[in-house]
Structure 1
Amino acid sequence: MEIKKSLFDNLQNFFGFDNFKGEQEAIITNILQRKDTFVIMPTGGGKSICYQLPALMTEGTAIVISPLIALMKNQVDQLRAFGGTESIAHFLNSSLNKAEITKVKQDVLSGETKLLYVAPESLAKAENIDFLNLITISFVAVDEAHCISEWGHDFRPEYRKIRQVISSLGENIPIIALTATATPKVQQDIIKNLQMTDSTLFKSSFNRPNLYYEVRPKRNVMKEIVRFIKGNMGKSGIIYCLSRKKVEEVAEALNLNGIKALPYHAGLDPKTRAETQDKFLMEDVEVIVATIAFGMGIDKPDVRYVIHHDIPKSMEGYYQETGRAGRDGGEGLCVAFYAEKDIDKLAKFMKDKPVSEREIGTQILKEVIDYAESSVCRRKQILHYFGENFNEAGCNSMCDCCRAPKTHFDASDNLKKTLKAIRDLGEKFDDHHIINIMMGVETSQITAYDHHTLPYFGSGKEEGLIYWKSLLRQALLNNYLSKDIDNYGLLHLTKSGRSFIENPHTLRFILNRVMETGEDDQDEGSQQGAGAVDTVLLQMLKDLRKKIAKQKNVPPFVVFQDPSLEEMCTHYPSTIEELKQIHGVGAGKAMKFGASFIELIGKYVEENDIDRPVDLVIKSAANKSALKVSIIQNIDRQLALDDIASSKGITYEEILKEVETIVNSGTKLNLNYYIDEMIDEDRQDEVFDYFRSAEVDSIDEALRELGSDDYTREELQLMRIKFLSELGN
């Protein structure tokens, strides 16, 4: 009773809370009784108080092992704000100078410091071990404990040495290990490595009912992101990208579109990262665009959305990153963009890793793919991954799959057939292999095992791949099968699965939606957005183009090409600035031809009372890309195009395409020095005359008209570039 009263007094006095959240009270009591404690609690559940409060109530100093300098600084600042003194909490890491380290050690030795945050690398240093042996350690807290496991999404080898160091600091030092994401396999790894076999496990539900989960096909991704953010103006958000380059590009595109955003990744210096973090916490910026380096332990409770520009490498990573939204229990929107191309990139990252690590990575990545492609409740899938059963009715339509109309199918007969096949084959194969058998696909592995001779080989060909993926995914989610992730993803029958073979019953599963994706990386900011083209306006613009072309004595395509006109009919640009953002326009053409087009569109919009989708006219930094600038500079220096291509690591066809894009956007290029070397004057005149009278600028048409025996495709492309540059720009 005395401990209970003391707990509540300290909670109120120090943190200003009247009540504990979830199992916090039981966890803290367990630590105060000097018992090893293992806490699995989702982001926003209040893990930090679980070790901060007992540290304040216990004699000595608690050592908190934490993986990120940003996380340590954030927590130390908060504790000092609560405690009122600088010395109550310190961190010891590589960011401190000698004088600062001396000050930290003095405060710890004097007994004033109740919590000392240490990076795992710093903990293992001999001088720090010697120092820690001089003080009374109340307990050791291992935060982000999943870093111990190579099965975790953020494995750090230094974490493997923690137990050894703790043992060298004295006997019977209690340990509290904490993590927000741990599959059963990772939990076993943590317990084994930290030698916590007698620890008390406190495992909260992984369900975050306030988070809305959605996966979108990755098309026109920048348009989608800008539109989403403009629909949520005034709210804080985080966008995660896989590469530093993409982080920089997305942050720049957002700023161009009037959204205050900053990039955050490990390539920035520590001072910039700290300033960026502070600006986000102080709401001087709305959005942080980051690699996974950002957000770990950042205590900003009111992040309202988390967007994954690229699908993450693991379900643990996805869960932890989405978990940074809505930590205060308020709105939390989690949107991920999925493209098969991203999966190919992630698979390439793993190519050079050792075989065992690659196998693990492949299985972990496959879980992400299955999650993205499935039509089953997202929440059910996430919780199943962490070993928690969930009835999708409890989702309350807080995911896109539960909100979308579904196609069901009777799964009973084919599930029984599949379960029998897995059993008969000795439970020694993964889902890909089983699907290939049912679909009748003769892979080398299928023929090596003679599985093409099985009676059910090809028996499910008519149902199709989507059907079989849906069936096996839901057989796993409904616990008829289990997957041995650490053993090549082999499928095993569960007790329910064996029972179903003997006593099948009517069962309806959900058919996966076909997620058609296809992001255009070349110029994703300026691709035509979704929405029907206004055919009436399109005809009016074509008539205007024809009129201007006659006045200028040039073919219509020299003024603007068809895709540019079509995009004008979707976005209705009303200023020269907006017109510049239309694909294939650019500053040159906008200034030369734009005024009459803007006037016509403005009049049309007013007369027809059209609501312009201004948020879809996305300003793009693509025209300023380093490659294009470099090509223009090299052409000014009169370098041969094939030499420029070679120096940039691209093909000749690719550089012609880049040069065409530059010219189509209104930049004038003088390629005569190169064309005169490649094509004699008479042939140049013939092609020039052809394009002057042509209705369309098609190279295929030109080849048919001029003869493919006389001209190559590349020669005609070069001449079209010259023609458009001289007459159109």
Structure 2
Amino acid sequence: MLSPNQLLKKYFGYENFRPQQEEIIEQTLSGADSLVLMPTGGGKSLCFQIPALLLPGTAIVVSPLISLMKDQVDALRSNGISAAFYNSSQSFEEQQAILNGCHNGEIKLLYISPEKLLSDTEIITKACKISLFAIDEAHCVSSWGHDFRPEYTQMGFLRERYPSIPFIALTATADKLTRRDIIKQLKLKKPQIFITSFDRKNLSLEVKIGVKPKEKINEIIDFIQERKNQSGIIYCLSRKKCEEAYEALQNQGINAMFYHAGMDAAVRSSVQERFINDDLQVVCATVAFGMGIDKSNVRWVIHYNLPKNIEGYYQEIGRAGRDGLPSETILYYNYADLQLLNKFAGEGAMAEVNLEKLKRMQNYAEADSCRRKILLNYFSESPDQNCGNCDVCANPRQHFDGTVTVQKALSAVMRMGEKEGLNMLVDVLRGSKRQEIIAAGYDKIKTHGAGAEIPLFDWQRYIMQMLNLGILEMAYDENFALKITPAGNDILFGKKKIELTVLNSIKAVEKTVKTRQPKIVSDYEELFNTLRKVRRIFAEKENVPAYVIFSDATLDEMVRQKPTTAEELLTISGVGEHKLFKYGEAFLNAINDFSSTSEIKKSKGSTYLDTLKMLQQNISISEIAITRNIAEATVYSHLAQLYLSGKIESLAKYVNEDEVSMVKEATLTLKETKIMKPIFEHLKESVPYHKIRLALAVLEKRG
């Protein structure tokens, strides 16, 4: 039997486990229970997939969404592992075939929803010899969590019914209260709790405060247009905002769509599938979108509005950069969002908890210290150093003596009887004469107009700082009236001074149309894009997302290492034996072809001009290859380059017109691909690779 490390390389293509993965696997193999807290993209799935391969029988994986099951099963099958999902979307015959496969020991992992497991417990347990239970997205079991699902609470009976089978509960987001509840609800037996670092170093963190709505959408449009080939998600507070953002992007020619719970289920499913398959660049969505997304190459996440709590925010930004490559996150925050969220949080049975969680989210957004530290502290992790990858670290905040500014605001609050909200306070400080102010007599108070020199948006941001510093507090049950705290009284009456953070200037987006300079494509980008095209062909052929074939991180390593043999390709992280056999030749051909062309370009013509001189002496292709100690394939690459640059008038001696026509037909059928392996296969291997290469050069020159 292979060891966990050997299985890791054989099936998943990785040389080493990440921190704590090996210990979690050993815990499960010993028959003990575990609670695993690991960030999104941190490798949770391997913690139960490896034991499933080692233990006799079938592992039952409880997963909340059908789309997530399908992605994970596709990924396992792509790695050569027998897996299936069992849910209500399947016919009776399909379900029966799966159960028969489990009974015959042919399926190592069976993914199932909690509802289906509850309704079909007897059928499943009779058909399967169960090796382990994995409860994925385990935070759904807790009413204290941010994504509570009642059906998860019934999973506890499984632990009682199967006392000798190991259980592993896994989640990316759970505070201490939620962790305790998971253990209690699932009735785990003395579980070992594994908490890996929540630090996703590859994610940059940025918060933009007080940006006006029109400027915000213009900033987002510019951001996306500078990242043409990158997938991203824009999270919005409401369905209306989703559709508004989508329309603005679509009007600028951006390939976007919206997604929310008010849409038809089939349309939602189509949006998700198109995004997963890289047919859609941007999705404007409510938080309903994403839990079922296993897409590893989301390069950025934007929050159009403030999230309700840190758990949700952390999980949502965690959908970016799951492959470990650098990714960006931006959060837009203003007072109107805070007011609306406070209203929502103050309603219902858990108002006190929800309001407190929102306050922590507000503290994060308004922070003037390292954001990653605040985020990690929330999950009981205390880093020693600042991250250097957030906007605060990039632009350390400056402070000034804000005592007079604060006193003006507090004086106005007091003189208005501590019964007005932020907007009224700002209008009074700026000296507004609108009807409500005159009717209330606020135009007569001493502080009316006392802060006229400070812009409206700056006043809003200063007051948010005062709330954050505990100088003011908001009475949610009194229509969000602002009240002065004891600390605020000390400042108002001159007992203490206070520093405020200097506001970063918010530059208005230029109205002029920007002329974008043509982007010079680097060798890295050129090869990366070539490999993406190879990957996409396989993905479309197998009807799976592109990242199931290889992740962007694996392609990135291929580009940097440029393996030229199967042995070298196998050393790339993410390339296992099964994938090497299925895809290796196509990727190696693409890399070798690119390297040959690139070598010609870099040598400024000397390499292929040497080939030209030998051709003019009527020396054969094979003799040129032997004489120059290069591959014949490289000589044919030189030949194609010489023809395209006009150094050779015709390639008819090497490729005939019938062969050119056959290649042309293949490229049209295959959506104009220039990758040789699919063309070679489409033509049933009747045209050799070197002739395909030359035919493509002829077609390129003809336009």
Q: TM-score of the superposition, structure 2-length normalised?
A: 0.58
Aligned counterparts, 1:71-110, within 5 A: 71-83=68-80, 88-110=82-104
- Distance in 2, matches of 1:22 and 1:297, equals 25
Match for residue 64 of structure 1 among 61, 64, 72: 61
1:111-163 per-residue CA deviation (whole Å, 9 max, x = no partner) reads 212111111222221x3344324532111111111111222111111111111
Q: Which residue does 1:158 correspond to in 2?
A: 151
* Mapped contact 2:33–2:190 kept (Cα < 8 A): yes
* Mapped contact 1:240–1:309 kept (Cα < 8 A): yes
Aligned: 1:30 with 2:27 = yes
AA matched with 1:223: N
- Distance in 2, matches of 1:410 and 1:185, equals 39
Q: Which residue does 2:307 correspond to in 1?
A: 312
Q: Which residue does 1:146 correspond to in 2?
A: 139
Instruction: Give the 3-state SS of the residue equivalent to 1:571 in structure 2.
Output: coil
Aligned counterparts, 1:109-508, within 5 A: 109-125=103-119, 127-168=120-161, 170-196=162-188, 198-217=190-209, 218-219=211-212, 220=214, 221-350=216-345, 352-354=347-349, 357-393=350-386, 395-396=387-388, 398-408=389-399, 469=467, 471=469
1:250-294 per-residue CA deviation (whole Å, 9 max, x = no partner) reads 223212211111222333444433433332233222112222222
Q: Which residue does 2:568 correspond to in 1?
A: none
Q: Which residue does 1:549 correspond to in 2?
A: none
- Distance in 2, matches of 1:167 and 1:371, equals 41
Change (3 A) 1:269 1:515: farther
Structure 1 residue 351: deviation in Å?
A: 5.2
Change (3 A) 1:337 1:131: same
Change (3 A) 1:32 1:226: same
- Distance in 2, matches of 1:290 and 1:383, equals 26
Structure 1 residue 89: deviation in Å?
A: 1.6
Change (3 A) 1:511 1:119: farther
Structure 1 residue 299: deviation in Å?
A: 2.6
Match for residue 511 of structure 2 among 564, 571, 574: 571
Change (3 A) 1:173 1:440: farther
Instruction: Give the 3-state SS of the residue equivalent to 1:51 in structure 2.
Output: helix
1:175-196 per-residue CA deviation (whole Å, 9 max, x = no partner) reads 1011111111211111222222
- Distance in 2, matches of 1:361 and 1:293, equals 19
Instruction: Give the 3-state SS of the residue equivalent to 1:209 in structure 2.
Output: coil
- Distance in 2, matches of 1:466 and 1:268, equals 36
Change (3 A) 1:202 1:267: same
* Mapped contact 2:297–2:321 kept (Cα < 8 A): yes
Structure 1 residue 401: deviation in Å?
A: 1.5
1:194-224 per-residue CA deviation (whole Å, 9 max, x = no partner) reads 2225111211111111111111134222112
- Distance in 1, matches of 2:292 and 2:327, equals 17
Structure 1 residues without counterparts, runs of 5 or longer? 415-434, 445-463, 474-507, 518-528, 532-569, 574-610, 615-729
Q: Which residue does 2:669 correspond to in 1?
A: none
* Mapped contact 1:38–1:202 kept (Cα < 8 A): yes
Q: Which residue does 2:508 correspond to in 1?
A: 530
- Distance in 2, matches of 1:613 and 1:347, equals 42
Structure 1 residue 352: deviation in Å?
A: 4.6
Q: Percent identity?
A: 44
Change (3 A) 1:69 1:510: farther
Instruction: Give the 3-state SS of the residue equivalent to 1:164 in structure 2.
Output: helix
Instruction: Give the 3-state SS of the residue equivalent to 1:335 in structure 2.
Output: strand
1:388-415 per-residue CA deviation (whole Å, 9 max, x = no partner) reads 112343x12x11112224234799xx9x
Q: TM-score of the superposition, structure 1-length normalised?
A: 0.56
* Mapped contact 1:213–1:399 kept (Cα < 8 A): yes
AA matched with 1:248: E
- Distance in 1, matches of 2:128 and 2:246, equals 46
- Distance in 1, matches of 2:498 and 2:86, equals 54
* Mapped contact 1:375–1:510 kept (Cα < 8 A): no
Aligned: 1:42 with 2:33 = no
Of structures 1 and 2, the one with the larger relative CO (CA 8 A, separation 6+) is: 2
* Mapped contact 1:146–1:179 kept (Cα < 8 A): yes
* Mapped contact 1:571–1:612 kept (Cα < 8 A): no
Instruction: Give the 3-state SS of the residue equivalent to 2:3 in structure 1.
Output: helix
Structure 1 residue 350: deviation in Å?
A: 4.1
- Distance in 2, matches of 1:160 and 1:516, equals 49
Change (3 A) 1:199 1:440: farther
Change (3 A) 1:249 1:137: same
* Mapped contact 1:379–1:392 kept (Cα < 8 A): no
Paired residue total: 443
AA matched with 2:45: S
Instruction: Give the 3-state SS of the residue equivalent to 2:101 in structure 1.
Output: helix
Q: Which residue does 1:686 correspond to in 2?
A: none
Change (3 A) 1:153 1:109: same
Change (3 A) 1:331 1:122: same
* Mapped contact 1:216–1:338 kept (Cα < 8 A): yes
Structure 1 residue 67: deviation in Å?
A: 1.2
* Mapped contact 1:466–1:512 kept (Cα < 8 A): no
AA matched with 1:158: E
AA matched with 1:173: I
* Mapped contact 1:146–1:186 kept (Cα < 8 A): yes
- Distance in 1, matches of 2:516 and 2:127, equals 67
Structure 2 residues without counterparts, runs of 5 or longer? 404-408, 420-461, 472-496, 518-703
